[in-house]
Structure formats: C-alpha cells, structure tokens
C-alpha cells in the first residue's frame, strides 16, 4: 500500500524499490505477489501484472485474486490489440477486440479499455458503440460507467463531450478509487486544454489553465511536460531543459 501511495504521489522510483524489496523478502507470498500485481496494474504494466499473478498457485488464489487476474488479462489483451493496430495490423486488432467484448461482460472498466483500443485501431464509432449501452441504460449511469466513458471521449478527441460528462460525474458521490480516477481524468483533460491554448499562441491562458494541476500535482510528468513546452514557446529554453531533466 505504501508503494501505491508513493506512486500516486509521483515517487515512482522509490515505490518500485519498495515493491522489489517486498518480493525479494517474500518471493512465494500470495499477498506480496498480489500487491506487486496491483502496483504494476496502476502503472499500466498489464503484462507484468498478469505474469506476477500467474506465479500464485491456483489453490492459493482467493476469489478477489481470480477476479483481478481476469480483469488484468482483458486489459493486457486490449493493450496487445492496440499495439497490433499501431504496427499496422488493424484487421487482426479489431478481430481480437471483438472477441474480448464477451469476456468483459458488462464491466464498465473493461469495456472502457476495449473501447480505447478500438480508437487506437482507428474505429472510434465502434469504441463509442461499446460504451453506449451502459451510458444509455434504463438506470442513470453512475461514476463506474461515466468515468470510463469520459476517458473514451477524451481519447477520441471529443473535448466538449468529455467536459460535459466530467461535470455530470462531479455531482455524484464517488468512492476513493473513483475519486482518484476522476481526478486523474480531470488533470489529463486540463493538460490537454492548456496544450491547445499553447498551440494557439496564448501562453498566458495556457498557464492559467495548467496552474491548478501544477498546484495539485507538482510532480505530474504530463503537467510538467506541458509547462516545459510553454517555456520553449516563450523562448526560455533553460527553464524548459531544467524541467525535462527532472522528469
């Protein structure tokens, strides 16, 4: 848990050291392996997370670990499909994603991962179609649906739609994990808006938009990278280089 907290605080190197030390001390511990897999998943290292979970003997896997392993597998398969698309094998990527939808069931997080991979494969309409039944269901969608949906909209380039969904989520109660995901998404959206302003040449407005993220997350690499590009645009390459060296 300490490693995950450090990771969320931007101290990824120290966080990784703690996880490595834990596994060296308890290489066969199901709890340690589960914690290591959780840590890898928070870094988006789905293949590493799956391989770590595979080291836990089946008779020592709790229902929670089994569910988590399934989720990790879907995420890794979606990531592999995205890599296939990026390498040019779009047809194979889409075929893999179509098969994954059944494995995801109605899980919003997993469907969101599949939808984002469809965007990587160049099929935004299908990405939105994957999410639409959850959003337009008979019951009002909650944060568990709306946060993955907003992530898909943001990746698709629909900034206005993303902002509308984020405002909707903000009005709803969230648990701790949902609130963290919401804040991550808000930061990502804000950085993108700041970047858009920089590209238009309005550096003052760009900094004003970015500043709340810098204040809330001073070590955020995306925000720091955006700030460095603003310094480059302003002609202050020394400050930009200093930021890049710290990333």
Tell me the mean pLDDT in the region 163-191.
Answer: 95
Of 79 and 20, more confident: 79
Contacts of 198 (CB under 8 A, 6+ apart): 206, 226, 229, 230, 233
pLDDT at 247 over 90: no
Q: What is the mean pLDDT of the chain?
A: 90
Give the separation between CA 142 and CA 161, rounded to whole angstroms: 16
The predicted-structure confidence for 29-80, as pLDDT tens digits, reads as follows 888 888 888 888 888 889 989 999 999 999 999 999 999 999 999 999 999 9
pLDDT at 166 over 90: yes
Backbone phi and psi for residue 196, each to the nearest 5 degrees, phi listed first: -60, -40
Compute and round to an integer the Cα radius of gyration of the chain: 20
pLDDT at 3 over 90: no
Give percent above pLDDT 70 in the chain: 94
Contact status, residue 229 vs residue 198, Cβ threshold 8 Å = yes
- Dihedral sign from CA coordinates of 9, 11, 16, 19: negative
The predicted-structure confidence for 189-223, as pLDDT tens digits, reads as follows 999 999 999 999 999 999 999 999 999 888 888 99
Give the separation between CA 208 and CA 211, rounded to whole angstroms: 5
10 Å CB burial of residue 81 (0-12, 13-18, 19+) is buried
Q: How many of the other CB atoms lie within 10 Å of CB of 117?
A: 28
DSSP-based three-state secondary structure for 172: coil
pTM as predicted: 0.83
Tell me the mean pLDDT in the region 101-129.
Answer: 94
């Amino acid at each position: 848990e300490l490693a995950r907290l450090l990771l969320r605080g931007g101290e990824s190197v120290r966080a990784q050291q703690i996880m490595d030390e834990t596994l060296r001390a308890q290489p066969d511990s199901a709890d340690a392996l589960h914690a290591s897999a959780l840590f890898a998943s928070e870094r988006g290292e789905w293949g590493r997370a799956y391989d770590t979970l595979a080291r836990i003997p089946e008779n020592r896997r709790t229902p929670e670990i089994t569910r988590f392993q399934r989720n990790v597998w879907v995420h890794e398969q979606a990531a592999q499909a995205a890599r296939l698309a990026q390498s040019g094998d779009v047809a194979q990527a889409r075929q893999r994603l179509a098969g994954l939808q059944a494995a995801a069931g109605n899980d919003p997080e997993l469907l969101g991962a599949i939808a984002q991979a469809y965007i990587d494969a160049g099929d935004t309409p299908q990405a939105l179609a994957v999410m639409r039944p959850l959003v337009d269901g008979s019951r009002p969608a909650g944060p568990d649906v709306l946060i993955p949906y907003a992530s898909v909209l943001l990746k698709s380039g629909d900034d206005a739609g993303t902002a509308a969904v984020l405002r909707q989520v903000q009005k709803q109660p969230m648990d701790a994990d949902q609130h963290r995901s919401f804040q991550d998404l808000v930061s990502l959206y804000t950085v993108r808006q700041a970047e858009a302003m920089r590209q238009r040449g309005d550096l003052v407005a760009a900094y004003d938009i970015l500043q709340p993220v810098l204040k809330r997350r001073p070590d955020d690499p995306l925000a720091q990278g955006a700030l460095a590009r603003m310094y480059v645009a302003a002609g202050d390459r020394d400050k930009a280089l200093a930021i890049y060296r710290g990333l």
